[in-house]
Chains A and B, each alone.
Chain A
């Protein structure tokens, strides 16, 4: 496998990792706020903070890892995305900054305040929406290159059905993934009321998720026919994705094997995300950047791959340790430690 293919695969896996862990976090923020508004916060807030407190910083690193790696493997992306994403990128940074620091202020600092809960809940939906912009513009049609540099066609972006369906999909997926995880986690903690509450959320958000996936598919066929065709060639991946979705909803509906249900949700998004990504190639940003044109030179490519493997040897055992202590340690999850 060539360096560029190794590079993009690694990065896509990390972006997928971020999609899952960040969704849990972002959705939890929204549910915490919603539960407070409906006076049910005493039921689920303990569960949420027991999971999030030890891992929120790790979630953030997945994202940093992705964009640093992207620039490393494909330095041209820095130029095109950097020039065009100044405003959405800056807004995303500010939202992430408010969310991350306020989380720490509240959880390690003082008491809960409702302003904080609102910000925490609202940013949980705005961040995925603003980050999704980067994926949207990578489809092409939203930026133009002139002699002065590259600029974002904001008007086109704001009036495109495709960009709005991506935003919608991002938001509902976040809520769906998060509630699926929390259902599993609450069940593990033997916390019946919490489990029942988040289970309801999960079932509620399942239909918008599948509808949004379909509308995004349709909008894609209008916006970028090439990509759409390539995704049709990979129909089996999307078929598997739908099958795992149905399996997950069925298990949660039956209140059975909730851990497996969450793994199904992970597979659902894995196949959809990789089907989408594979169809996107060879372009990273249509029509300006392709995988081959933008790749860093071979020496650096090799150095990055070596660094990546060495890094994984360090990370995977550490992550397993972290998960064993805080995710799979029944005593911790139940609140006995």
Chain B
């Protein structure tokens, strides 16, 4: 195939990063700038110290040139994440609600815009790591429930789903094949019996 085999049917982490960079984020510009019309999106008029929301990738370019500071999203602080962590502990069978790109976003902001965050980066890092680990343990546990028909993954982020996808899809597909083949065999047997009945009636 044209696409390398390891890109078929699954996303690369860098692709998920790319998707996450397309989300809007609030920035606090330091300079005044005219608006720019881009192909896919547009950068509104920027006035110094006036909040605007722009795509994350624009924010990162401006940030790297020291032309703005990024306003962290409301979930990226230690108290909020702590609460989520407690929620994860309280409800062992559910994933708590986090944005679909929380892992990427927090990683990008921690590496590229660490000085804009409210809490010290090392604390944020450790709580994010804790959250990630507890959710990993849960998803591992959930794999025991794999069956041929459905799986429920409420509240999992894109990266976490992406890690599971190759394994889960393969296993479920095999289970479904096994199930289907046994089903059709049973159905055929029933049909055969029906046929026998019909012929019996004819006699």
- The reply to whether chain A is a binding partner of chain B is no
Residues of chain B at the chain A interface (Cβ within 8 Å): none
Residues of chain A at the chain B interface (Cβ within 8 Å): none
